[in-house]
């Protein structure tokens, strides 16, 4: 890799500018999910911990709203079926074409359940009582796989005022502090200190511009998050994103962090994992809306169907369509069709009674709204995002509302006709969609939603980072561990490839929590 500006280390901070030195067994760079999990786990092991967090304490917050795990006592006691963790490992490695580190995926599979129960230990019962298990019970007609792709339910959703994911994590921080972990807010790590070949500490700057040296007796853990807000790193490392967005790339927005952790790791001798590098959101289109990834009929701006809608990556084909409208179309049998879907990330949560009642009410209210459409709220985000849905008595009328006219309208109607023929046959001869999800669009009123694949978009986070081994020890260019230097969470690599995959929804947070806890325990045990 040719060295870029972001890869060039800054000049060392002169000794004369160091205001003070703080010693701890473990210094953790970043107080996000993985960093806090590591801090609590290490403090429970009886070692001293310093956590450096860039955010101000009065603005401290966490990303996320749900955590996926396997075989936690919480899930099993609620009636979720126990699963073989190796099934998950094999499915994950298959989806990522074995580009991810199976040692890390195995650690998640075999330790995430215990970690989730560990996470819940300090939450009051009144908090636990508000938790909701996504897609439990499973959709009635889901048999464990669709088109050969397997999914399991294991995601627990944190919602509500005072019982959100952020609220839970704040209680985790409180617990880590009670155990002796010290948090330094508004403190930005800038340079990792190496003595000979070993990482021994970090130089950081507080919000008043003072340099502080934090020395680590056992190890330095990089847990600074992703690099989705660093345009230079995105341009250099995320080729698919740049190619797809083209001129709109400059308007692309990242919701995550700025790549401090990856850069410091590289300056200290580490390296980024090889591409293709994964991202959560940002390079897909042609779905979403209130029904998320549900496998309804999709059409491009020419009124033509373009993909197997039930594939886990239908959105990636959507973004490759001619720029413009992408329509999603269904009929009044939609409620029964949801019972065939997988419990995949973003799909409708048919098990959430309150949200389903709201969805049905919203859909009923759309009927008769004509060209204006009506607002329908989704069931799968903590914010319950509203989207515009159109309703019509005939497919032709719906085509008008969705923006099709003349030849594209003719194509639209021909596509619906062809889709219905294939559904009646019970065999998708065009794109191979699982026959169980091929439902004819024949019962009025008909519904549709329009997304676009030519507008500036966002990603939640990038999911690639420094190359690490099974102990999350950062590796150098010769694949040798750098003594004393570790990386976890979205600062580390080996966990995702190509895309965000959800055999169990919420596994990104689940993996951050699980691997963060494990690395905290590992470093604490070092002599």
* Helix%, strand%, coil% for the chain, nearest 5: 35, 20, 45
Cα radius of gyration rounded to whole Å, the chain: 24
What tens digit of pLDDT does each residue of 94-137 get? 999 999 999 999 999 999 999 999 999 999 999 999 999 999 99
**Whole-number average pLDDT of the chain:** 93
Asked, for residue 403, whether it belongs to a domain, the answer is yes
Asked, for residue 248, whether it belongs to a domain, the answer is no
What tens digit of pLDDT does each residue of 271-315 get? 999 998 998 877 777 676 889 888 999 999 999 999 999 987 888
Same domain, 336 and 427: yes
Please choose, from the candidates 286, 289, 287, 296, the residue with its C-alpha nearest in 3D space to the C-alpha of residue 318: 286
Proportion of the chain above pLDDT 70, given as a percent: 98
What tens digit of pLDDT does each residue of 40-57 get? 999 999 999 999 999 999
Asked, for residue 265, whether it belongs to a domain, the answer is no
Same domain, 300 and 353: yes
User: pLDDT value at position 1?
Assistant: 45
Asked, for residue 34, whether it belongs to a domain, the answer is yes
Same domain, 496 and 521: yes
Interval 172-176 mean pLDDT: 97
Distance CA 496, CA 461 (A): 12
Could you give the C-alpha distances from 69 to 94, 116, 335, 422, in angstroms and in order?
A: 19, 7, 28, 38
User: pLDDT value at position 383?
Assistant: 63
For 191, the token pair is 């340079």
Same domain, 343 and 372: yes
Domain hosting residue 399, numbered range:
289-452
Count of domains forming the chain? 3
pLDDT at 244 over 50: yes
Nearest 5°: CA angle at 197, between 191 and 198? 65
Distance CA 343, CA 377 (A): 18
- Of 131, 157, 183, the residue that ends a domain is 157
Same domain, 89 and 185: no
Please choose, from the candidates 101, 135, 97, the residue with its C-alpha nearest in 3D space to the C-alpha of residue 351: 135
Nearest 5°: CA angle at 468, between 465 and 472? 110
Same domain, 363 and 441: yes
CB neighbour list of residue 246: distance below 8 Å, 6 or more residues apart: none
Asked, for residue 255, whether it belongs to a domain, the answer is no
Angle between helices 85-95 and 102-120 (to 10 degrees): 130
CB neighbour list of residue 43: distance below 8 Å, 6 or more residues apart: 49, 176, 179, 180, 181
Q: HSE, CB side, 13 Å, CA atoms: give it for residue 14.
A: 2
Same domain, 217 and 110: no
- Of 452, 478, 496, the residue that ends a domain is 452
What tens digit of pLDDT does each residue of 462-495 get? 999 999 999 999 999 999 999 999 999 999 999 9
Same domain, 403 and 482: no
Distance CA 493, CA 357 (A): 41
Helices (H), 179-271: 231-237, 239-245, 260-267
**Main-chain phi, psi angles of 421, to 5 degrees:** -60, -45
Asked, for residue 82, whether it belongs to a domain, the answer is yes
Asked, for residue 309, whether it belongs to a domain, the answer is yes
Same domain, 42 and 180: yes
User: pLDDT value at position 362?
Assistant: 96
pLDDT at 68 over 70: yes
Same domain, 301 and 432: yes
Same domain, 343 and 422: yes
Same domain, 447 and 342: yes
3-state secondary structure 410-460: HHHHHHHHHHHHHHHHCCCCCCCCCHHHCCCCCCCCEEEEEEECCCCCEEC
């Amino acid at each position: 890799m040719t060295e870029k500006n972001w890869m060039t280390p800054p000049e060392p901070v002169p000794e004369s500018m160091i205001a003070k030195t703080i010693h701890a067994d473990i210094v953790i760079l970043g107080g996000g999910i993985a960093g806090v999990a590591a801090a609590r786990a290490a403090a429970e092991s009886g070692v001293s911990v310093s956590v450096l967090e860039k955010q101000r304490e009065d603005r401290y917050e966490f990303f996320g709203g749900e955590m996926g795990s396997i075989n936690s006592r919480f899930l099993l006691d609620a009636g979720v079926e126990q699963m073989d963790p190796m099934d998950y490992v094999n499915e994950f490695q298959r989806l990522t074409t074995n580009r991810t580190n199976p040692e890390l995926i195995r650690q998640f599979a075999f330790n995430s359940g215990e970690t989730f129960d560990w996470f819940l230990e300090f939450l009051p019962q009144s908090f636990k009582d508000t938790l909701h298990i996504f897609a439990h019970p499973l959709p009635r007609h889901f048999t464990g796989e669709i088109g050969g792709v397997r999914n399991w339910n294991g995601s627990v959703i944190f919602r509500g005022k005072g019982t959100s994911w952020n609220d839970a994590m704040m209680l985790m921080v409180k617990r880590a502090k009670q155990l002796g972990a010290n948090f330094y807010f508004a403190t930005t790590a800038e340079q990792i200190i190496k003595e000979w070949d070993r990482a021994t500490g970090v130089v950081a700057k507080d919000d008043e511009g003072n340099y502080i040296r934090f020395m680590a007796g056992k190890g330095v853990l990089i847990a600074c998050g992703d690099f989705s807000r660093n345009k230079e790193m995105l341009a250099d490392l995320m080729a698919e994103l740049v190619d797809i967005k083209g001129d709109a790339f400059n308007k692309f927005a990242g919701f995550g962090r700025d790549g401090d952790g990856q850069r410091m790791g590289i300056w200290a001798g580490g390296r980024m994992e090889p591409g293709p590098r994964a991202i959560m959101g940002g390079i897909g289109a042609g779905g979403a809306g209130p029904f998320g990834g549900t496998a309804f009929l999709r059409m491009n701006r020419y009124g033509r169907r373009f993909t197997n809608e039930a594939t886990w990556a239908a959105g990636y084909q959507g973004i490759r369509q001619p720029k413009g409208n992408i329509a999603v179309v269904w009929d009044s049998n939609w409620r029964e069709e949801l019972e065939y879907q997988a419990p995949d990330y973003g799909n409708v949560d048919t098990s959430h009674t309150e949200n389903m009642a709201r969805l049905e009410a919203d859909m009923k209210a759309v009927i008769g709204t004509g060209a204006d459409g009506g607002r329908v709220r989704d069931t799968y985000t903590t914010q319950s995002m509203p989207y515009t849905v159109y309703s019509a008595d005939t497919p032709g009328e719906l085509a008008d509302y969705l923006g099709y006219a003349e030849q594209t309208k003719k194509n639209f109607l021909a596509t619906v006709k062809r889709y219905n023929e294939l559904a009646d046959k019970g065999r998708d001869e065009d794109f191979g969609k699982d026959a169980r999800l091929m439902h004819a669009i024949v019962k009025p009123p008909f519904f549709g939603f329009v997304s676009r694949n030519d507008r500036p978009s966002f990603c939640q986070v990038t999911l690639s980072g420094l190359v690490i081994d099974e102990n999350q020890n950062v590796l150098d260019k010769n694949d040798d561990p750098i003594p004393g230097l570790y990386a976890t969470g979205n600062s580390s690599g080996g966990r995702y490839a190509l895309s965000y995959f959800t055999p169990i929804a919420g596994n990104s947070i689940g993996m951050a929590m699980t691997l963060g806890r494990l690395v905290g325990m590992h470093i604490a045990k070092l002599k």
